[in-house]
Structure 1
């Protein structure tokens, strides 16, 4: 069951054209399977859901938390001292926003449509 604030997804970088090699590696090394969402993104479901992002502008892992109420969670994040770096936007499967914590780590929070 999804709960607000629980780590729910992990996006990993696979930029510079390395997405096919990354998929091949995890398929061979750990028997992972993937769902492709266009040429630049694939998702995996291997215990913790996650995906590889082929966009070179996203060079770091991105922990993604879940929220039952995205607007309220964004408000709470801001009140607690987080800095919103990408306001709420839609993506395939739901909506999300990105923020940085006081240490500068970027995280995202998502909610289903």
Structure 2
């Protein structure tokens, strides 16, 4: 799977913009950065942001954000991001990215793991 420097920049921008939308409680903007599959799963921006608020506080309100490398995990282009949760717990977010037919990138899932976890 090939990706370019412009893909790296676009992927980072999508994640940064979604994180900014969460900070502002802008459900519609945050939802717009999700892939069509994620949008179908949650149905509305309100359902989506409620799920993130409840189950992903480190994504919803991170104290700090540090972008790591992009890797491929099970054929998914994955951006690794170090987050500091609202409670001061460091976590690694694995953002699964999906390229759309119009060549834009959307977030197709996010998994939080401990920073000690080995990624293979």
Q: Same fold (TM over 0.5)?
A: no
Between the two structures, name the one with larger relative contact order (CA 8 Å, sep ≥ 6).
Answer: 1
Q: Which has the higher strand share?
A: 1
Q: Which has the higher helix share?
A: 2
Q: What range describes the TM-score normalised by the shorter chain of this pair?
A: under 0.3
Query: Which of structures 1 and 2 has the bigger CA Rg?
Result: 1
TM-score, normalised to structure 2, is: 0.25
